[in-house]
Every structure is written in structure tokens, then in C-alpha cells.
Amino acid sequence: MSIREFEERIRSSVDEIINKIINDNKKPNIIGKARLGAQISDFLEDKFIKYSKSDVNIINAIGAPKENTKSSFDIKFNFKYKGITELIWIDFKAINEGSLDSNPDIGAANKVISFIKQGNFYILYVYVYYKNNNDGNVEFVSNNNGKFTKQYFLKDIEKTFRRTPTGQLQVNANSVSEYRTREEFINLFFQKVEESHKRSIKKSNEMLKSLSQIKLEIIEKNKALEKSILNKLNEN
């Protein structure tokens, strides 16, 4: 068995569970109000822990602490197969059917680096799709490909992903995964991080060059305003 086949086994195990959850709960008891994405993630977390017990390879499934909205994962579990135990992070992405072209944050680059340095590798993004019915309730729907879920490992993310100035990774919700080896991903990932830092440095340098002129303009503007204020204060 190759590493690619091993990765596919992990992904297909999760895919089977998520599809079963959705098929059993097409209309979950979720009202379409604020923080819908978080509500759907909470729902999937709870169901995944329950449904995953039927998969002998998935052990120790744990949901993110409910009070921690900044958790690095929504679900984490160990995938045990042929003497190998891999820690897997799942990050759920609930996409409204009217926002398929959105660009959700998919985690902080620094957290990815830390995760890999600790000897782990597999962060799995699980997209699900929903709509708000007229009664206000949420219903799971299929995407443009007729699927209820789309999944890929971070290592196989479409190469158009980027690191934002705030350190977050982003990719279009419609992106298509591209298989690559682990080392190929490491090279691509650090290329993206480096490019992001260079953009930030360039922008900072441009701002530094213009600061002196901006400062002089503001000083002159302030002098004029102060003069106007003083003139009015001392009018007879």
C-alpha cells in the first residue's frame, strides 16, 4: 500500500461517516440565525463522535471545546491502521448554497507549522452545503457536483491558496484539490508563506517611504486649523 492509498483510506472513512450523518439528518434542528456555520459545525462534531464508533480505524474522536471559538480543529481523532497511528484534525466548512464562491479562512499558517513540527501532517477540510428554508430551518443540500460533501487534506489544497496579511490561509470554496506528496506540499506551503511575508515587507517599506511626507502634510494642515481656531477665538 502506498502513502497515497493510506491517505485515501482516511479520507474515505470520514466521507462515509459524513454522508451517513447528512442522509440521516437532512433537516437538522438548526434555526437559520446568527453563527450558522458554528451551529452546523457543533452539530457535525457531536454526530461524528457518535457515528465514528462504528469505524474500527477511528479512535479517540474528540470535538473542539465548545467555549473555545479559536480552536485549531473541529474534530480530532487517531486513525489506526496496520500499526500506524496518525492524528487527524477535521475542520468543517459549512457553505450556504448562495455563497459557493466565498473565500473562507482555513486556519493560521503558524498553527499548521506547529502541527507538522510536532510530527503530525493530516488536516482534513470537510465542506458541507446548506440552505435556509422558508420556515427558518436549515437543510443540507448538494453542491454543483451533486455531492453533499467535499473533502481534501490541506496537503492537497488547490495551489491558488494564499496566506493573508493576518496570517490566515484562504482558498476559494469552489476550489478543486490537487494531489501532491507530503514533501511537495511542504515546499509549496513555505513558498506561499514566504511570498506573503515579502508582500507585507514591500507594503511596509512603501509606507515607511511615504510617512515623512504624510507627517509634513498633516503638520501643515494642523497649523492651518489651529490658526483658524485662534482667529475665531480672538474675534471681537
Domain housing 146? 3-195
Q: Is residue 216 part of a domain?
A: no
Residue 229: CB atoms within 10 A of its CB come to 10
Residue 153 confidence (pLDDT) above 80: yes
Q: What is the CATH number of the domain that holds 112?
A: 3.40.600.10
Residue 60 domain-assigned? yes
Question: What's the CA gap between 79 and 111, in Å, rounded?
Answer: 21
Return the percentage of the chain with pLDDT > 70, whole number: 98
- SS3 percent helix, strand, coil of the chain, rounded to 5, is 45, 25, 30
Q: What is the structure's pLDDT at 199?
A: 95
Position 100 in a domain: yes
Confidence (pLDDT) at 22: 96
> Identity (one letter) of the amino acid at 35?
R
pLDDT digits (tens, 9 = 90+) for 185-233: 999 999 999 999 999 999 999 999 999 999 999 999 999 999 999 999 9
**CA-to-CA distance for 45 and 37, rounded, in angstroms?**
12
pLDDT at residue number 30:
84
Q: Which pLDDT band holds residue 48 (cuts at 50, 70, 90)?
A: very high
* Tens digit of each residue's pLDDT (9 = 90 or more) over 1-43: 999 999 999 999 999 999 999 999 999 888 767 678 889 999 9
Residue 46 lies in a domain: yes
C-alpha–C-alpha distance, residues 127 and 151, integer Å = 6
Residue pair 24/50 in contact by the 8 Å Cβ criterion: no
The answer as to whether 230 is a domain residue is no
Look at residue 20 and tell me if it is in a domain. yes
pTM score: 0.87
**Beta-sheet pairing, 122-132 with 105-108:** unpaired
Q: Which of 84-88, 101-105, 133-137 has the highest mean pLDDT?
A: 84-88
Number of domains in the chain: 1
Q: Which residues of 18-36 are buried (b: 16+ CB within 10 A; e: fewer)?
A: beebbeeeeebebebeeeb
Residue 68 confidence class, pLDDT cut points 50, 70, 90? low
Q: Is residue 220 in a domain?
A: no
Q: Are 124 and 156 in contact (CB under 8 A)?
A: no
What is the structure's pLDDT at 189? 97
What CA–CA distances, in Å, run from 58 to 75, 127, 207, 235? 12, 20, 51, 82
> Does residue 151 fall inside a structural domain?
yes
